[in-house]
Amino acid sequence: MDTISRKGELRMMALFAVIVLLMPIWLIPFGAAYPDLLQKFAIFGIFAVGFNILFGLTGYLSFGHAVFLGVGSYAAVWSFKLFTMNVIPAVIFGVLFSGIFAAVIGFVSLRRSGIYFSILTLAFAQMSYNLAYSVLTPITNGETGLQLRLHDLRMIDGLFIEAGEGLPLTNLFGIKMSGYPGFYFCAVLLILAFYLALRIKNSPFGMALKAIKSNQLRMGYTGFNTRPYLMSAFMISGMYAGLAGALLAVTDPLAGAERMQWTASGEVVLMTILGGVGTLFGPLLGAGLIKYFENIFSSYNDALLQETFSFLPDMLNNLMVGIISPFVGDGWHLTLGGLFMVIIIFLPGGIVGGITMVWRRYMKKRGASAEMEGETS
Amino acid sequence: MDSIFLQILNGLDKGGAYALIALGLTLVFGTLGVVNFAHGAIFMLGSFCAVTTQNLLTYSKKVKDESITYFEAFKEVPYLEIWWGDTGSFIIDYKVPFSILLAIPVMLLIGLAMERGLIRHFYNRPHADQILVTFGLAIVIQEIVKSIYGANPIPVPAPAIVAGSASIGSWIGLGESVVYPWWRLIYLANALVVISAVFSFLKFTTYGMVVRAGMQDRETVGLLGIDIQRRFTVVFGMASVVVGIAGVMYTPILSPDYHMGMDFLVLSFVVVVVGGMGSLEGAVVAGFMLGVLQSFAAMNEIKSIFPGIDQIIVYLVAVIILLTRPRGLMGRKGVMED
Amino acid sequence: MTTVLNVSGVNKRFGGLQALDNVNLKVEEGQTLAIIGPNGAGKSTLLNVCIGRLAPDSGSVEFHGETLIGKQPYEINQAGVARVFQTPEIFPELNLLENVMIPALSKRNGAFHFNIISRMREEKQIEADAISFLEEFGLQDQSDNEAGTLSRGDKRRLELAMCLVQKPKLLLLDEPTAGMSRHDTNTTIELLKKIKESGMTKVIIEHDMQVVFSLADKIVVLAQGAIIAGGTPDEIRNDPKVQEAYLGEEQV
């Protein structure tokens, strides 16, 4: 069996938790150990892990997952506005509403498979995006985006606390959710979300999803009603996206429609593919790398490049800067697109898939040579 | 009455653009079986052919401005005007039609290079891989364009003579007040011409017949000893030219920027799906139909009944079609139906 | 003896073609029924009617007294009908053990079971079941391999194991030896004989006469959508109408 034992699972989770929680330390040498970026790692990690439950396990490629991210954000901000600045209800609302949206969109889209499913989800994403910009302005605040206001209702907070000066901050029972506390809140949820994804993957339910991906016809004649399986996978993965969206609002309480655009859905596809579809850690790695490069690459400019290559003679320096500068700064999307194509063409299993392949080959070689030694001795 | 007439015209005109883009998309899908998410990017490249032509034609020299005598002033004068005077100005004015001359060979080359270099290796990969790799390609193309031309829309005006509106109402007896922009009429005519050209090519030439036969049954045509692969490469080039021309002609209507391709992509997929994957006639009919539907949905009378309908009508139609008739309006039974 | 499958008065038209013409047949428990007939005789149509994929224009298809018409594939499987396809339908990306565990799970848990928290690894009973079936079919050595890497004959074995682990009440086989080498055909026949000995009720659609005559208790001959003969293998062998149907085909 391809799954790990209870003990192995526990060890893996412990290691994972340590790695995630210690990110503020071990990411220092990479220049990535500041709360804003760390929060993004955790949030988009959740998004990608959830997306992978759908795409990785069932093979259904949704191009509209950003809708759920957006819905999660809107729901969370409304929870801040209407009820309380406490983040727990916000997260719950985010997950709940994205679950409802996923149920509706999934119910319709899952009637088709393959490319038609992708296009249906794409169509729903565009509809939601367009509506958020136009008639739904009372809910979404249109182009400006939904923001907190001084005179928001905040029914529950109003009962306990005097409204202070200025905009209130999101909090977890009094702990401010900006900076590192915000990161740790997201990190804990990431660990939980990852654990759930691990359990799903190794459960009979997850096995059924993998079998649906492998051969849907056989699944039917094996007695499985595939629709509710796909529906559950779609909803779970939509709720993951909603959680991520809510966390975006927790760390920065505003929500805009651009979060729902289909290119935003494309981004989570990129993350998952880059890291490795269907693998446990791949989507996390992909999300981390993309968010890292987005921040690091995009901050590079020509002056910084000049400095980096200052050890070279002038002519070479200018040449290097000339070659590299289109790929950094504003042009980092170019690097991303190119990298993505390379991965699809040469390494369909993504980074994790590639590493596994190399590792297996190495082990095989070692096994073979050990056998040879055994024969000669 | 007037407004309905104008809406129909408006819709047909919008539909012309949809139909052209969708035609290219479905040509590629029907012949090569490839789902091309980079199609919008090719449309965008077409528009930037017009931008490039404009840049080339207006390549300028700084000359002293004689009309200002108080101090030394300079103005930019295009070389063309310096060399050829009025003829030069005329050429610059007609840059959009002229850029078609540039766009045809350039788009053909781009199309051929794309097919040879990338798409060909994905014929036998799953559709998801095709979607993903072409999506990546689209990002790369649009980022390259962005790094060359910048992020802002670049206006490329139509020739001055057709810059205004045609008093179309007086032609057909609806009164002077009914007017419509000249260039949009030209666009519609252009769309019709290109569409007919593609169809006559496929219907009346032997080359086109082989391609159509290949769309029906690729294997058999291959068995007849015809190099269908090569013809499909040409088809890809042709699809690029079609959508490239659509892009060139669209520039006076919408100033091109680097992400216009992505904006049109989703829409053109919707058109193809509604028309029926791989059905050329379907793509054209659906293009015009959705264009007209969209412009009617944008009328205030309709919007007051269904608020926001103009924003979603196209997608709504696509969802309904996909659920009730997955092969689309004119798709063949059994093609990509599951 | 109880009747497992009862097809009565089934008609099906496609445009001008009478694909099935008043077809009646009964399958008794423990019996192996073979349906033979020349190409285009309506064998596949009959099978598709039996498994609910095609609704007949008239007539009824009953399985243990319950109608199968209009049912989804999964409902028919849950009722106790397992199906073997012309080209083996397995889960190529999963390993052999998983391939057999999945149908066993379906048998135990039903058509849908939202058990996202339990662990596949701890399904010991299911695993033991699957392993015993893999052993029975001689596939235990490959149980960690991906099913897609198997030879065609082994894929067929695996598919049979997947069907039988569900302990179905009826096994439908659609040309189980189509496209197989002589050697693979022979081993498959041996396997099917073994299954027959265990008392499994089977319906086989087959082209290959060797397969049919070595397995069937009862043979039904279909030609142009109608049953032209039915009986024991010996009766069928000597039936002039059958010879005509087949010779007629050969002359074309």
What value of ipTM does the predicted structure carry? 0.89
Q: Which residue has the higher pLDDT, C80 or C239?
A: C80
In chain C, what residues touch A278 (CB-CB under 8 Å)? Answer: none
With contact defined as beta carbons under 8 Å apart, do B246 and B44 qualify?
Answer: no
Pair type for strands C218-223 and A171-172: unpaired
- The secondary structure of C85-114 as a DSSP string is -SS----TTSBHHHHHHHHHHHHHH-S---
Q: Are residues C240 and C206 in the same domain?
A: yes
Spatial CA neighbour of A89 closest among A80, A81, A98: A80
Give a yes or no: residue A194 inside a domain: yes
On whether both C174 and C74 belong to a single domain, the answer is: yes
Any domain includes C90? no
- Whether residue C18 is contained in a domain is answered as yes
State the average pLDDT for chain A: 87
Chosen domain end from C167, C193, C218 = C167
pLDDT at residue A104 is higher than 90: yes
pLDDT of residue C252 exceeding 50: no
A42 and A160 in a single domain? The answer is yes
What stretches of C75-201 adopt beta strand conformation (E)? 81-84, 170-174
The CA-based diameter of chain B, rounded to the nearest angstrom, is 80
**A132 lies in the same domain as A231:** yes
User: Do C5 and C117 reside in the same domain of the chain?
Assistant: no
Residue A372, φ and ψ in degrees, nearest 5: -60, -45
Q: What percent of chain A has pLDDT over 90?
A: 46
Residue A5 lies in a domain: no
Q: Tell me, what's the pLDDT at A198?
A: 93
Residue A163 has pLDDT above 70, yes or no: no
Q: Residue C12 forms beta bridges with which residues? A: C20
- Asked if B292 and B15 touch (Cβ cutoff 8 Å), the reply is yes
Average pLDDT over residues B249-268: 86
> Does one domain contain both C50 and C2?
yes
pLDDT at B337: 46
Q: Beta-strand (E) ranges in A191-263?
A: 254-255
Q: How far apart are CA C104 and CA C134, in angstroms?
A: 12
Task: Quote the number of domains for chain A.
Answer: 3
Q: What is the DSSP string of B205-250?
A: SHHHHHHHHHHH-HHHHHHTT--HHHHHHHHHHHHHHHHHHHHHHH
Collect all residues of chain A within an 8 Å Cβ-Cβ radius of residue B308. Answer: 130-131, 134-136
DSSP A168: P
**B314 CB-near residues (< 8 Å, 6+ apart):** B267, B270, B290, B293, B294
Q: Does C105 touch chain A (CB under 8 A)?
A: yes
- CATH code of the domain covering residue C219: 3.40.50.300
Please answer whether residues B157 and B182 qualify as being in contact, where contact means their C-beta atoms are separated by less than 8 angstroms: no
Same domain, A152 and A126: yes
- A196 and A278 fall within a common domain: yes
Bridge partners of C226?
A: C223
Q: For chain C, what is the domain count?
A: 2
Q: Is residue A206 in some structural domain?
A: yes
Min Cα distance B236 → chain A (Å) is 20
Same domain? For A331 and A357 the reply is no
Q: How big is the A-B interface in CB pairs under 8 Å? A: 111
Summarised one tens digit per residue, pLDDT across range C126-169 is 999 999 999 988 898 998 999 999 988 889 889 999 999 999 99
pLDDT tens readout for residues B194-248? 999 999 988 888 888 888 877 777 677 777 777 777 877 888 899 999 999 999 9
Token output for A234: 């779609």
**Average pLDDT over every residue of A175-204:** 93
Residues A137 and A189 reside in one and the same domain: yes
- Domain membership flag for residue C85: no
Considering the domain architecture, whether residues C207 and C99 belong to the same structural domain is answered as no
CA distance B328 to chain A (A): 11
> Closest Cα partner for A51 from A357, A274, A320?
A274
Across chain C, how many H-helices and E-strands are there? 9, 10
Query: Are C239 and C192 contained in the same domain?
Result: yes
- Pick the last residue of a domain from C167, C183, C212: C167
CATH number at residue A40: 1.10.3470
- Print the domain residue range for C207: 1-80+168-252
- pLDDT surpassing 70 at residue A314: yes
**Within 13 Å and on the Cβ side, how many CA atoms surround B331?**
25
Strands C170-174 and C81-84, sheet pairing: parallel
Q: Has residue C46 been placed in a domain?
A: yes
C149 and C190 housed in the same domain: no
Q: Who wins on pLDDT, A328 or A239?
A: A239
pLDDT of residue A228: 95
Query: Are residues A155 and A65 part of one domain?
Result: yes
Q: C33 — phi, psi (to 5°)? A: -105, 130
pTM listed for this prediction = 0.88
A131 shares a domain with A50: yes
Cα–Cα distance, A242 to C123 (Å, whole number): 32
- Helix (H) / strand (E) element for B28: namely helix B2-32
With respect to residue C87, please indicate whether it lies within any of the assigned structural domains: no
Task: Flag if A203 and C115 touch (Cβ within 8 Å).
Answer: yes
Shared domain check, A149 and A245: yes
- Regarding whether C175 and C141 lie in a shared domain, the answer is no
Residue A242 maps to a domain? yes
Both A97 and A169 in one domain: the answer is yes
- Is C86 part of any domain? no
Residue A11 lies in a domain: no
Q: Are residues C198 and C156 in the same domain?
A: no
Nearest CA in chain A to C143: A1
- The letter for the amino acid at A30 is F
B148 pLDDT above the threshold of 80: yes
Assess if residue C190 is contained within a domain.
yes
The yes-or-no verdict on residue C3 having pLDDT over 70 is yes
**Residue A3, pLDDT score:** 59
**Contact in structure between A106 and A235 (CB atoms under 8 Å):** yes
Instruction: Look at residue A1 and tell me if it is in a domain.
Output: no
C172 and C241 part of one domain: yes
| A315/A290 same-domain check | no
Residue C73 shares a structural domain with residue C122: no
Examine chains B and C and say if they touch (3+ CB pairs below 8 A).
no
Q: Which residue has the higher pLDDT, C8 or B1?
A: C8
Longest CA span, chain C? 63
- Summarize pLDDT for A44-92 with one digit per residue, the tens: 999 999 999 999 999 999 999 999 999 999 999 999 999 888 899 999 9
Q: Do A220 and C77 lie within an 8 Å CB cutoff?
A: yes
Residue A2 lies in a domain: no
Domain with A227 in it: 18-27+35-295
Q: Are residues C172 and C65 in the same domain?
A: yes
The region of weakest confidence among A46-50, B104-108, B111-115, B256-260 is B256-260
Side chain identity at residue B289, one-letter code: M
- Indicate whether A8 belongs to any domain: no
Q: In which band, very low, low, confident or very high, does the pLDDT at B177 lie, cut at 50, 70 and 90?
A: confident
Highest mean pLDDT among A350-359, B81-90, C206-215: A350-359
Return the structure tokens found at A159: 């009962």
Sign of CA dihedral A5, A6, A10, A11: negative
Nearest CB to C77: which of A200, A223, A229?
Answer: A223
Check whether residue A132 and residue A164 sit in a common domain.
yes
Q: What is the largest CA-CA distance in chain A?
A: 84
Task: Assign B254 a pLDDT band (cuts: 50, 70, 90).
Answer: confident
Let me know how long chain A is: 377
Domain boundary among C123, C146, C167: C167
